Amino acid sequence: MHESSHILKGLKDQGHKFTKVRKLVLDLLIKSPKPLSSPDIQKAFLARKMPVNKTTIYRELAFLKGQGVIRELQFGDNTMRYEVTPDNHHHHIVCINCDKIEDVILEKDLDMEEKAIAQIKNFKILNHSLEFYGICERCQ
Amino acid sequence: MHESSHILKGLKDQGHKFTKVRKLVLDLLIKSPKPLSSPDIQKAFLARKMPVNKTTIYRELAFLKGQGVIRELQFGDNTMRYEVTPDNHHHHIVCINCDKIEDVILEKDLDMEEKAIAQIKNFKILNHSLEFYGICERCQ
DNA sequence: TGACAAACGCAACCGAGTTGCGTTATCATT
DNA sequence: AATGATAACGCAACTCGGTTGCGTTTGTCA
């Protein structure tokens, strides 16, 4: 399991500071079963009677993304969401009715496809986004 | 190849009107080599000295999407883009440097993966989004 | 040609995300 | 423990894609 203190220690060694906001943003993302948006995180701070300016959240997320600690996702609603960079490469399935989100792992990954595309299209492929949309068990 | 008049004729038979805006939006999407955003389309109208209100564009795109004539895509910049619903199921590869977009067709489609996920997760999968990001030939 | 609904324009609005700038808090050093 | 550098933060104002309500225009068909 991920441990925020350990990650923060690593960042600190690189000249970054260990702040309450940074720790809580990271803890929220580590504990959340699904990716969170910036507004989600701001609401979580508010619920804990720790109001934080939205600019701070955006900057913190940009920082953690830049450090490779978290990654950015989008699920079709023009809002960025974030999750701790996973060890196991996975994608997501989103219920278009109740917004439930679950991780899914492909039986065969896309490496071969990427190689083929890179060769045909002469692109250097860096990453990809793959999300599935449907109706979850409860909603169908 | 797609023919806007033919599509519009079909819509007209269902009680919808044949307007200049509708025809041009559709023609633009048919002719464009890459998906277009609502602002893209508004600019194209302006360039032809045919200023159109942005609300009209958004409503027209929502209409055409609802009719299944076009489909909605997103490439990570919080802006919806649209393309004519393709006959051949394809995805896209986006250059993160110059925003060049090309169609790509997978060697193996994701049907088997979808079936496996549907069974394991008990989701009824309706569709998916898959985009590749990288550096195009010119930019690398 | 008249009448009805679809399509349109306009203005005001919403919400995610950004920018500039001044202030505060963390941390290494003394 | 005091100090200074700078990362982190708050605040206000802003940008921009997208939406809503409402009154007006236009395409279509009888």
CATH number at residue A109: 3.30.1490.190
Say whether both A11 and A67 belong to one domain. yes
Distance A91 CA to D22 C1' (A): 44
Mean pLDDT (chain B) is: 96
Looking at residue B1, its pLDDT comes to 58
Distance, CA of A84 to CA of B12 (rounded, Å): 50
Mean pLDDT (chain A) is: 96
Say whether both A59 and A15 belong to one domain. yes
pLDDT of chain A, 140 residues: tens digit per residue: 578 999 999 999 899 999 999 999 999 999 999 999 999 999 999 999 999 999 999 999 999 999 999 999 999 999 999 999 999 999 999 999 999 999 999 999 999 999 999 999 999 999 999 999 999 999 99
- Nucleotide with minimal C1' distance from the CA of A16 is D7
Say whether both A41 and A80 belong to one domain. yes
Give chain B positions within 8 Å (CB) of A127. 132-134
Say whether both B54 and B76 belong to one domain. yes
Q: Count how many domains chain A has.
A: 2
Q: Give the domain CATH number at A62.
A: 1.10.10.10
Say whether both A23 and A52 belong to one domain. yes
Distance of CA A28 to CAs A2, A111, B19, Å?
12, 31, 51
Distance, CA of A70 to CA of A64 (rounded, Å): 6
Give chain A positions within 8 Å (CB) of B72. 76
In sequence order, what are the beta bridge partners of A101?
A94
Say whether both B60 and B95 belong to one domain. no
Distance, CA of A30 to CA of A49 (rounded, Å): 20
Closest partner residue to A132 (CB to CB) among B76, B108, B128 is B128
Say whether both A77 and A98 belong to one domain. no
User: Using one digit for the tens of pLDDT, what is the confidence trace for A36-74?
Assistant: 999 999 999 999 999 999 999 999 999 999 999 999 999
Element (H, E) at B93: strand B91-95
Answer whether A113 sits within 8 Å of B106, measured CB to CB: yes
- Residue B115: give the domain boundaries: 91-134
Does B2 score more than 90 pLDDT? Answer: no
Q: Is B112 in the A-facing interface, judged by CB distances under 8 Å?
A: yes
List the single protein residue with the shortest CA to C1' distance from C8. Answer: B56
Assess if residue B140 is contained within a domain. no
